[in-house]
Chains A and B, each alone.
Chain A
Amino acid sequence: MLNFILLIFIYIGIYAISALGLNLIVGYTGLLSLCQAAFLGIGAYSAAVLMTAFHFGFWEAMLISGIITALCGMLIGIPTLRLKGDYLAIATLGFGEIVRNIIVNWDSVTKGPMGINGIPGPNLFGFMFSSMDKISWVILIWVIVGISYYFVRRIVRSRVGRALEAIREDEIAASAMGINTAKYKIGAFTTGAFLAGIAGSLFASYNQSVAPLTFDFMMSIMILCMVVLGGLGNNYATVAGAIIIVITSEIPRLFGISHIIPPQLNQVIFGLILVLMMIYRPQGIIGRVKLNYAKILKKEILHLEK
């Protein structure tokens, strides 16, 4: 039982990292992206290939796969300069399918539908993380969640974050305010993809294997659910959303009633959550927080002047 709860927390952490990235794209910049699972997949497969075929260590593989995913994010960010709203969503949907098909069919690298097995765990100064030792994994992943949270918070609590929000509110007005909207939109996609890439490499290393079917459209929807459920444009709420969604989807197994409630029911639940949230609380459970600049600056700047 304890093992199962720890396992849930490992997954919550992995999802939280990618949801934080998606929040930057959807919540702050207002670009509806449906390909976060594809970014996770690219990260997971990059890490898997680097670690098995090229014998990279986990940490290097994590960083490189983060960068590879970020480059893919940049690639999908370019159409966003021309596409708006629904059309962009469809374009990202297509991108997600392309990625999944490439993974399935590029046998020589991804081993196709078989997936890649035998991915080693991280080695931290001689300490090997094994999948049996779930407590160390929970710690490792939540430390990375913390770093990601801080990283995103630094972005959104600066003029960059305000620029992203301005683009969400009114792109034309934002460009009339001297904001290079193209740069920030691509930047949001790149950063969001980078975080998903990191999450993907953790996923690969923890599971010791990757398979193409994991990174499907449902996973993108699940991550989107986390962002919407918690509250668009609020990082704290996004992590809360990840916790709620993962636990909800694991309840049947948690209570050992998965033979009564099949796991496919999750999809119904997610759909229901999205519909109900959009109708009754579009701002999410927690919603967006209004930053009190006077307070932030007093706290942060007054001691600077001393």
Chain B
Amino acid sequence: MPLLYTQSLRREFGGVVAVSDVDIEIFKNSITGLIGPNGAGKTTLFNTITGLDYPTSGFVFFKGEDITPLPAYKITRSGIARTFQNIRLFKEMTVFENVMIGRHFRANHPHIVKNRLINFILGRIFVKQEEYDIYESSIKWLDFFGLLDFRDEYAKNLPYGKQRELEIARALATEPEVLFLDEPAAGMNPQETDELMVTIKRIRDLGITVVLIEHDMKLVMNICDKIIVLNYGRKIAEGTPAQVQNNKEVIEAYLGKTDE
């Protein structure tokens, strides 16, 4: 059974059908690419799955449970994290704090949960323990991306490539099982893109399932196990990189119809 799948997921904005009855299946520990021309509904599909937007109809199942009606924060807590197409970092907070936010809901120290009020007034020790847990795992993720030296910088002062990495680090800090990356290579130079490919494989090797929207075909074709192609909100093709590359409908979507 797939780790995450959608059942005829549909999202309409007024008369426009952005996502039209899409069924996708994401298997555990795979890298799935989601491609399609601009305006194909890729980001809308991401938003409806991760709870930032609600589908008009259809369902999203994660680990066998229906997560369609859940708000975004609950979906994140259930193990789905994401990044954004236009980077959405907490700009006026430090790199360290950005990752610590990712740890926010994981840091429920058992003693604290039991007596929240008593702890607030008296129990500084538990709060310290909690902060220490957050601190430790945040360090771990900063180290994973080589961002430790930047930790006291404001996020807005990082170079663009590092901001992208920080956004992924922040998402990973929530300990997701599935990570959705919305155009992670956008605006990166070829060398940075190569590094990103290595990073995404390292993330997969941690046992995290990756789903990504990307326009950089080199990246998509190189690292994805499966590719899903959207056009005008519909799924037009699905399969391995080789299968998708030779699919007639996909070629038409990208290059236009050939007159016979």
Residues of A within 8 A of B104 (CB): 159, 162-163, 166, 177-179
In this assembly, does A158 line the interface, its C-beta being within 8 Å of a C-beta of chain B?
yes
Q: Which of A49-57, A116-124, A258-266, A293-301 contacts B (4 or more CB under 8 A)?
A: A293-301
* A-contact bits for B2-44, CB 8 A (1 contact / 0 none): 0000000000000000000000000000000000000000000
* A-contact bits for B184-197, CB 8 A (1 contact / 0 none): 00000000000000
In this assembly, does A268 line the interface, its C-beta being within 8 Å of a C-beta of chain B?
no
In this assembly, does B61 line the interface, its C-beta being within 8 Å of a C-beta of chain A?
no
- Rounded to whole Å, the gap between the CB of A177 and the closest CB of chain B is 5
Residue of B nearest to A169 (CB): B90
Interface contacts (Cβ under 8 Å), in number, total: 106
Total A residues in contact with B, Cβ cutoff 8 Å: 29
- Rounded to whole Å, the gap between the CB of B191 and the closest CB of chain A is 27
A169, A181, A290 pick with most chain B CB within 10 angstroms: A169
- Rounded to whole Å, the gap between the CB of B162 and the closest CB of chain A is 17
Cβ B101 vs Cβ A177 within 8 A? yes
Cβ A176 vs Cβ B52 within 8 A? yes
A154, A166, A168, A288 pick with most chain B CB within 10 angstroms: A166
In this assembly, does B236 line the interface, its C-beta being within 8 Å of a C-beta of chain A?
no
Pick the contact of A177: B71, B154, B174 (CB < 8 A).
Answer: B174
* B-contact bits for A238-258, CB 8 A (1 contact / 0 none): 000000000000000000000
In this assembly, does B125 line the interface, its C-beta being within 8 Å of a C-beta of chain A?
yes
Total B residues in contact with A, Cβ cutoff 8 Å: 43
Cβ A288 vs Cβ B92 within 8 A? yes
Residues of A within 8 A of B71 (CB): 175
Residue of A nearest to B127 (CB): A158
- Rounded to whole Å, the gap between the CB of A156 and the closest CB of chain B is 12
Residues of B within 8 A of A166 (CB): 90, 93, 101, 104
- Rounded to whole Å, the gap between the CB of B133 and the closest CB of chain A is 10
Residue of A nearest to B83 (CB): A176
Cβ B88 vs Cβ A173 within 8 A? yes
A159, A179, A297 pick with most chain B CB within 10 angstroms: A159
In this assembly, does B97 line the interface, its C-beta being within 8 Å of a C-beta of chain A?
yes
Cβ A176 vs Cβ B72 within 8 A? yes
Residues of B within 8 A of A176 (CB): 50, 52, 72-73, 76, 81-82, 84, 88, 171
Query: 11 A-B Cβ contacts within 8 A?
Result: A158-B130, A163-B104, A166-B93, A168-B92, A170-B90, A177-B73, A179-B101, A180-B73, A290-B94, A300-B128, A304-B128
* A-contact bits for B165-189, CB 8 A (1 contact / 0 none): 0000011001000000000000000
